[in-house]
Amino acid sequence: MSALVGTPAQVAEELETSYDSVLYLKEQCGLPFVMINRQSWVVPWAALHEWLATEVAKNALRHLAEAAS
């Protein structure tokens, strides 16, 4: 794991969720990411932690938890 960025799979592990949930967060909830090329992207860890502190992220994660149960 890079100290600066994480792959989608690493982010899923960090958030204790699935890869599909990370894709949902990226596409629907404003998860910060950086495109590496046309198919690859990463999430800056600092931006992830900042995003997690927002209300939008809290609501998105709550929605994911409710959908999983």
pLDDT at 33 over 70: yes
Bridge partner list, 41: 35
Distance from C-alpha of 40 to C-alpha of 65, rounded to nearest angstrom = 26
Distances (CA, A) of 17 to 23, 36, 37, 38: 11, 23, 25, 25
Q: What pLDDT is attached to residue 1?
A: 59
Mean local confidence (pLDDT), 53-69: 83
What pTM does this model have? 0.81
Single-letter amino acid code for the residue at 63: H
Average confidence score pLDDT of the chain: 91
Say how many domains are in the chain.
Answer: 1
Which residues constitute the domain of residue 36?
Answer: 5-68
